Amino acid sequence: MIVTENQQTTYEEKDRFSEEIDIPHVPAEQKSASHKSLIQITQEKEINQLEEEIKSLEKLLKQRKELLNKHFEKKHNVDKSPKTVEDYKEECEDIQRKIELTTKLAGISIQELTHNPLKSGDIVQYNLKGQCMDISFKVEFECLETNEDDNSLKITKLDIYVPENIQDELQKCLISMSEDRSIWSFFQLIVPYSRWHRQRIKTFQHFVEKYPDSVKVEEESFIPYLIIKNNTLTQGPVFCISWKFEVDQVYRAKSRLALSMKIPDYIQQQDKDQTLQRSTERFEDTVEELGIEHAIETIIKLASLCKNTGISTL
């Protein structure tokens, strides 16, 4: 290879520069170790910062809890001192007031509850007595304790006892509840039924007292019926209003009023406009439109319009 004069001069200058400045040689392994050390230091700093932030948050959380506890104690007058007999007496009276309020709102009061373990060990028999408005009841059921942790119970047998007049009216659904072992369905049914039962008694009694000469109550299989007739007639129409209860498949009670009548032949012949016939068909609609009391008043007025010669002009 031919080296020119200029190139030779350049090589000589490089050699002289290298001799004047001694550049140390750093091995590759040492460079890698230094890089790792720098990364480790950076990570340690970040970890320390995070630990400090966590400690700061824990301290703040503790302060917030203490503040909330003080606020709660101040608001609810929490007293950490030992309770006295008077304190317990006041608590019992407060619980009693709450029970009375619940009874007033829901209509159910539990009068007695006992339980006895049976010979089988896991099965417990409960006896519950109570009152729902005017209706007393007794519920006996056996439970299998399936889980001690969550106190879950499985009802294996259910018997429901109500007064005889209620038994006849609700016999089918009570039998169905016992077969389904559905104790909650009984309480779901007994509350609205008790309200309707009380209203039926009061409503019928109201009209008996208001119209003693033309209205009376008769019973058939313990179920009351309102009988309306014009006693001034030797042979007049007799109106009968029944107030029964229908229970659907999910044990919801619904009241239903219906009108039936016995009409002598001579009045049927005089009733050319079929006023009486239409009254039976329209009675349930009248109940929906005017209400129970107004609908019954309409039938009483209709009975008073009947004469020995037929029906007077309405």
Instruction: Tell how far CA 77 is from the center of its chain.
Output: 32
Average model confidence (pLDDT) across the chain: 77
* Same domain, residue pair 155 and 134: yes
How many structural domains is the chain composed of?
2
Task: Give 245-248 contacts, CB < 8 A, sequence gap 24+.
Answer: 245/169, 245/170, 245/193, 245/196, 247/170, 247/172, 247/173, 247/189
* Same domain, residue pair 286 and 266: yes
Domain assignment present for residue 155? The answer is yes
Task: Give 119-125 contacts, CB < 8 A, sequence gap 24+.
Answer: 123/156
Report the predicted TM-score, pTM, of the whole model to 2 decimal places: 0.60
Domain assignment present for residue 142? The answer is yes
* Highest-confidence segment of 24-33, 147-156, 295-304: 295-304
Query: Does the pLDDT of residue 313 top 50, yes or no?
Result: no
Q: What pLDDT, on the 0 to 100 scale, is given for residue 94? A: 78
* Same domain, residue pair 203 and 188: no
Domain assignment present for residue 246? The answer is yes
Asked which of 192, 226, 254 is the last residue of a domain, the reply is: 192
Query: Does the pLDDT of residue 281 top 90, yes or no?
Result: no
Average pLDDT in the 58-74 region? Answer: 77
At residue 5, the 3 state secondary structure works out as: helix
Query: Does the pLDDT of residue 207 top 90, yes or no?
Result: yes
Asked which of 159, 192, 225 is the last residue of a domain, the reply is: 192
Contact 240, 176 (CB under 8 A): no
* Same domain, residue pair 295 and 260: yes
Beta strands in 196-252 (DSSP E): 215-220, 223-229, 238-247
* Same domain, residue pair 108 and 161: yes
Expressed as residue numbers, the domain containing 177 is: 97-192
Q: What pLDDT, on the 0 to 100 scale, is given for residue 312? A: 46
| pLDDT tens string 217-255 | 998 877 889 999 888 777 778 899 999 888 888 888 788
Query: Does the pLDDT of residue 103 top 80, yes or no?
Result: no
Distance CA 297, CA 86 (A): 57
Angle, alpha carbons 39-44-49 (nearest 5°):
130
Between residues 153 and 309, the one the model is more confident about: 153
Asked which of 192, 219, 253 is the last residue of a domain, the reply is: 192
* Same domain, residue pair 218 and 121: no
> Which of 35-44, 159-168, 191-200, 253-262 bottoms out in mean pLDDT, i.e. has the lowest?
35-44
Strands 123-132 and 238-247: unpaired
Q: What pLDDT, on the 0 to 100 scale, is given for residue 161? A: 92
Domain assignment present for residue 149? The answer is yes
* Same domain, residue pair 202 and 288: yes
Between residues 65 and 40, the one the model is more confident about: 65
Q: What pLDDT, on the 0 to 100 scale, is given for residue 35? A: 57
Domain assignment present for residue 88? The answer is no
Distance CA 113, CA 270 (A): 63
Q: What is the CATH number of the domain that holds 129?
A: 3.10.450
Q: Which two tokens stand for residue 71?
A: 């606020």
